Amino acid sequence: MDVAVEPANDEASSGQRFQPDCCERPDAYKRLSPLGWNAGLLTVVALLTASFFLAGYFVVYWRNADMDFMVVYNVFLLNDGQPQFYFDHPAYFTILLVKSWFRFLHQLGLLDAWKLSAIPFPARRLLMKP
């Protein structure tokens, strides 16, 4: 005896799922910006560009070398085999990285003053004959 099973409704036979209109998924990007996704993204890029030109483009970076002096001086000391002068600092890994970088450049022959004892003193220049 052959029994054919009929689908319960037409939607089940076509493979479509029933989704009620009352439960639409909200767009997650609408919560990010009241301007919408495209206008919000354009506003962020415009503000970043404006802040670059207003606060960063015309500022000479070598006038604010506050941490660079400390890092380079400690690198010279470490490459010379001396203990670090300023140890309590969150830039310890930066100092170690710059130390390795100075040593690598010296091995390539690109950096002569890679440690403190390799820096010529101004008094030596007076003793040298031209």
Q: How many domains does the chain contain in total?
A: 2
Domain carrying residue 115: 62-127
- 67 and 122: one domain? yes
pLDDT digits (tens, 9 = 90+) for 53-105: 887 777 666 667 677 788 888 899 999 998 888 776 677 888 889 999 999 99
- 53 and 76: one domain? no
Give Rg (Cα) of the chain: 33
Rounded to whole angstroms, how far apart are CA atoms 78 and 72? 10
Q: What's the pTM value of the predicted model, to 2 decimals? A: 0.44
Distant-in-sequence, close-in-space partners of 112: CB < 8 Å, separation ≥ 6: 106, 118
- 51 and 106: one domain? no
